[in-house]
Amino acid sequence: MASSVDHLYRWPVVFSSKVSNSRFSGSQDILSVYSDETSLDIIEIFADSSPFANDSFKSEQFLRFCGPDARKSEHLKHLDCKTVNVLLLSEVATLGPNPYPSGVALTARGLFQTLHQQVSAAADLHVSFDADPKRQRVQRQLSESTSCEDTRVFVTNLSRYALLALAATAPWEAIAPLRDAIYRHLMMESHFIIDVAADTIPRFSLEFHLPMYTIRRSEALSADPRGLRKYLNISFLFQDDLSIDGSSRNEQYLLEAQTSCMIVGQHNTSWKAYMFADTYFDDEDPESAVEVWFPPAIGGSGYCDARLYWVLLLKHQANLVEGEWHHTVNTLIGFSRKYVRSQDASRALS
């Protein structure tokens, strides 16, 4: 587990100044950088964005997860338009009214269209300093503003289609930290890192990943449709819940799950937050699940400071994960003891 909490106390001044960073604001994504390409392998470019050759194993994981039909630019036209598992909150500085939906549930297709429009608008806004003086004044006013410029993406049960949409629309300077964060989420890693790079192109990223095992009771539990998380039937431990013929009235399952968050930005009130949570084992609709893991009190736009927002989110999700862990461990210990006692009694009678 990587940790560098001192960065929170030694926050470089450059991250508090919009003026000094306005010329670095992300105005390009993979699609705009490779605009001349007709058939672009977005996932391969996204996964290979690391300068380290020994990171090729990450590419293999991304390509395996996305499969052959959710990785290229032509596949963007066929993104999932039925499954609603994304909530987008946006506070973006523009030259006019904010055209982006805020607090709306989206499909993978809606996520791609909205985020790509934001990148395109940012490219128009952050023009060269040699441009029209009127636009320079507007740009300077926005840069000196204390208002938030942030986008918060909440995704439950990250699908290959949502991953393709995020990979295609990530600002160029955010691609590497987002790639690493999604990889850790897919691999169910435990991780905590604060990364600050104040040289050349200033960028910070705040990240945590909290894995857990949870227990759910179900007559017919559906496996993770993505095939990403594993589960185990542990009904044999629950002897008190068996019917006369020895079968379980309600099957008991031990399931893998993960919650993750990564915030990346170039100054403290202009950033993007990406949050992922596995909720496939619960019956709630996606919007209700989002409210559990990312409640309105935290998901709203009242928190402009990236550090404060990240700490509040970490506190909330750590409490949820701790509750699941306590429930799982206490349940397993209790029923394991009952199971051992029943086995001992059976042997004593035989």
The per-residue pLDDT for range 70-115, each reduced to its tens digit, is 999 999 988 988 787 888 877 654 434 444 445 677 889 989 988 8
The sign of the dihedral angle between the CA atoms of 310, 315, 319, 325 is: positive
What confidence tens digit (pLDDT) does each residue in 17-30 have?
A: 554 444 444 557 88
Q: How far apart are the first and last CA of the chain?
A: 50
Compute φ and ψ for 204, nearest 5 degrees: -125, 155
Whether residue 188 is predicted with pLDDT greater than 90 in this model: the reply is yes
Reference 181, options 161, 158, 201; nearest CA is: 158
Q: Which whole number is the average pLDDT over 196-206?
A: 78
| Cα-trace Rg, the chain | 23
Going by C-beta distance under 8 Å and a sequence separation of 6 or more, which residues neighbour residue 87? 103, 104, 105, 106, 153, 154, 287, 290, 294, 299
DSSP calls for 106-137: E-HHHHHHHHHHHHHHHHHHS--TTS-HHHHH
The whole-chain average pLDDT of the chain stands at 77
- The CA angle 163-169-171, to the nearest 5 degrees, is 120
Tokens of 100: 């982006």
- Count of other CB atoms within 10 angstroms of residue 255: 21
- Highest-confidence segment of 6-10, 36-40, 161-165: 161-165
Cβ atoms of 251 and 217 within 8 Å: the answer is yes
Cβ atoms of 115 and 92 within 8 Å: the answer is no
Report which residue type is found at 339: Y
Distance CA 214, CA 332 (A): 10
Tokens of 36: 């001349």
- What's the residue count for the chain? 350
Cβ atoms of 230 and 214 within 8 Å: the answer is no
CA 7 to chain centre: 22
What confidence score (pLDDT) does residue 260 get? 96
Cβ atoms of 260 and 179 within 8 Å: the answer is no
Q: pTM above 0.75?
A: yes
The pLDDT confidence band at residue 8, using thresholds 50, 70 and 90, is low
What confidence tens digit (pLDDT) does each residue in 38-47 have?
A: 789 999 989 8
Beta partners for residue 149, in sequence order: 270
Query: In terms of C-beta density within 10 A (0-12 exposed, 13-18 middle, 19 or more buried), how is residue 347 classed?
Result: exposed
What confidence score (pLDDT) does residue 21 get? 45
3-state secondary structure of 74: helix
Tokens of 175: 């691609």
Whether residue 256 is predicted with pLDDT greater than 90 in this model: the reply is yes
Query: In terms of C-beta density within 10 A (0-12 exposed, 13-18 middle, 19 or more buried), how is residue 169 classed?
Result: buried
Compute φ and ψ for 174, nearest 5 degrees: -100, -5
Strands 191-197 and 203-218: antiparallel
Cβ atoms of 24 and 201 within 8 Å: the answer is yes
What confidence score (pLDDT) does residue 206 get? 94
Q: Which whole number is the average pLDDT over 329-345?
A: 81
- Domain definitions of the chain by residue range: 6-349
The pLDDT confidence band at residue 268, using thresholds 50, 70 and 90, is confident
